[in-house]
Chain A
Amino acid sequence: MSQSGLPPLTGAVRDLAHEVVSALRGGGHLAGSTALADDELGLAAVRVLGADVLLPATLAGYSLSPERVAAFRTATLAFPAAPGAAPVTAWSHWGMRRALRTLSGPDEDPALPDTGEPGASWLHSLPWQRFTHQLAVLGALALPGLPSEVATTAALRPVDLARGFVRAVRRRDWLQAAGAARWLALLDGVPDTLGLDTGLDFVLLMSDDDPRVALQAHAARHIRDERLLDEGLRA
């Protein structure tokens, strides 16, 4: 699928997001079969979506081809987070390295050593509006079983994130709304009155099938469904 009239990188990111969504929704059959474009544009698109490129495997447990994982590794190496980079850039890169380690096993990759978490102190003092914005940008870190200081901080402020979701919907910032919803799907303590399930459908409907929004929204729904299933099994 090509997106006419869009800047090339935007189009490439949308194509890649569309492919991830199809894999998530279609049982994973596409996930491992399509090669990642390893030209400059393709690698840059991978860097924009970050760890979410591997979502069919990291969230849904589908297997990916070694070529795909290798191309992801190439993108991770090609766009490191510069020293002094913005926290969201550093965390996004941390998420990519972390996803690679999850898929390639416990052996250390000498080119991508484990440098630890970048630190999340910048989040603590942010008002709920900015807090939600930053968390939504880091939606790729909202995964069950992926502990991080960002996730720990998010878990302390579910009402603030819920407020940020409402604000994003009111402002028609569907990408931010979907990113916030993905964290909310993961957290305890979200007010029931938020209406997250219908909210997710509303965001999908209103965003005109923007693949980047759909990626976050479908990830959110996947996380939520698994949680509900777990709770149902425990009950």
Chain B
Amino acid sequence: MTSTRLIHGVGLRALEWLHARRDGFRLEPDADPEVGLMDRFKPIGELAVICGVIFREGVAGSRQSQLARQLLDHVWRDTLDGGRMLVEGARTEPISPIPFEVYLPFRELGYEQPDIERATRLNHRLGSWSAVEVLPVRRLGLSAFQRRFGLRPEPGVDEATARTWLARTPEPWTVEGHIAYDITHTVFHLTDWGERPDRLPPHIAGYLADWLPVWLDDWLELRRWDLLGELLVVDACLPRPTFDEAAWEGFAAAQQPDGAMPALREMPEGEPDDLFDLVYHPTLVAAFASALALSRSLSALTPEPS
């Protein structure tokens, strides 16, 4: 059984690294319009989602909670200018769902920006929003986010789920990197980022219980830490998580002393901003996997009420 101390340590170190390098969550307001502003919103939205998980699960120590709150305040107030940069993004690309997707986790944590809400409600009435051609897993994500915002998703979550790779439970030996990321994100959206493991349909939970151990073994051996971390999140979303000892120990050993998690194999080198862009995601994933696995393993220790 993987020790809770090891799992906890991975999350704390990851958050310390993200906090120390919080200026890496930056926008490029002068970006070429062809490239757009939106690219740099993604890390900020991901940070908000993961901090939300840390608060929600309530297993982080007071230091971690403090770091997470300071990080969120920093990116909302300084990087997003109190949400006004999201409005700017929505003015530039009115039909893009990205400002809404980045905004939602902030809103759930008590931050507000009325103009984004107005734009979201308008976009939701457009045929274009539900018709825009995206991958099935992304469509599921949009539907799940609309539900969380309080809108009626179109298509509905069940219909969007049915179109994903994972819902069709295909041959597990065909899974390569891209499919594996589709699998992890389908699980994230179906469970609301680990909040509702019970929302995983039984046939998907059974399929994952059968085959996840193989994928963990595979990507541990390939030392693809970013993907391995996401698969450890998936494990923590299952009805009976395994807290795979070899995978967790390998993952923890790959983490740098300062908390950074390389995306694959060794830690890369480069200028601070470039380095941040290369490793912020696996480091966020490490914080996510740690919070969720810790929470599930602690609740497994709690005796059932008799």
Contact = CB atoms under 8 A, between A and B. Distances in A.
Interface of A: 128-129, 159, 162-163, 165-167, 169-171, 191, 193-195, 198-199, 202
B213 A163 contact: yes
B171 A167 contact: no
Interface in B134-161: none
Interface of B: 169-173, 175, 207, 210-211, 213-214, 217-218
A193 B172 contact: yes
Contacts of A193: 169-172, 207, 210-211
Contacts of B169: 193
6 contacts: A128-B213, A163-B214, A166-B173, A193-B169, A193-B172, A193-B210
Contact of B218 (A167, A194, A198): A167
Contacts of A165: 173
Nearest to A170: B218
A195 B171 contact: yes
B170 to A, nearest CB: 7
Nearest to B211: A166
A167 B210 contact: no
A148 B172 CA distance: 30
Contacts of A128: 213
Nearest to B221: A171
A170 B173 CA distance: 6
- State the majority secondary structure of interface residues on A: helix
A169 B169 CA distance: 18
Contact of A169 (B170, B173, B210, B217): B173
A171 B84 CA distance: 49
A169 B217 CA distance: 13
A110 B124 CA distance: 85
Contacts of B213: 128, 163
Contacts of A167: 214, 217-218
Contacts of A202: 173
Contacts of B207: 191, 193
A195 B175 CA distance: 13
A162 B210 contact: yes
B172 A194 contact: yes
Given A163-B210, A163-B211, A193-B210, A199 B217 contact: no
Nearest to A128: B213
Contacts of A166: 172-173, 211, 214
B173 A195 contact: yes
Nearest to B246: A127
B201 to A, nearest CB: 14
Given A129-B217, A170-B218, A159 B210 contact: yes
A153 B206 CA distance: 23
Contacts of B172: 166, 193-195
A194 B179 CA distance: 16
Nearest to A196: B171
A194 B171 contact: yes
